[in-house]
Amino acid sequence: IMSVSLVLTVIGDDRPGLVGQLSAAISKHNGNWLESSMSHLAGKFAGIVCVAIEDGRLDALKAELASLQGLRVTAEVSDTIQTPASRRLTLALVGHDRIGIVREVSQVLARHAVNVEELNTHTASAPMSAEILFHATAELTASPALDARALIRELEQISNDLMVDITLDESLRP
């Protein structure tokens, strides 16, 4: 029996029971909940879920997800391709909040063929002042041939222009 990976994006007004509603629909169609990331943002519940499901049950699950009350769910079948061994990096950034930080950092990462696997951001008041600071952490993958020194140099150049602190660590994530 052929199994496929289904990536769901989910959004709705935040309320108790949303995850239960979603997981019940997935279980009903013998879907296997593999990975997820969910957040409460501006009164909304937002999430991404990866589900393994038998090919023959795909359409029934999609129909059920589309009928869930109070949730908008989109579903995309993923052609998961095994990637060659890659380096794993963690990026941390803190700086004065302003428009364009994510765009500028992501452009540098793209120029170095670095893939963003996970990105988390938030803003918070700076200690000892009323300034708003922008915080970001990212889990990245890159080819073994990545010139990390060149990447760090380019990120440091941006960090000078943006007045932010950026750290890049090679990690031993699985």
For 59-114, what is each residue's pLDDT tens digit?
A: 999 999 999 999 999 999 987 655 555 788 999 988 888 888 889 889 999 999 99
| pLDDT value of position 143 | 87
pLDDT for position 85: 58
Quick check: pTM over 0.75? no
Q: Is residue 174 very low, low, confident or very high in pLDDT (cuts 50, 70, 90)?
A: very low
Question: Between these two residues, 80 and 26, which has the higher pLDDT value?
Answer: 26
Tokens encoding 106: 């992501």
Q: How far is CA 64 from CA 4, 26, 40, 95, in A?
A: 17, 9, 23, 44
Q: Which candidate, 53, 50, 28, places its Cα nearest to that of 38?
A: 50
Confidence of residue 172 (pLDDT cuts 50, 70, 90): low
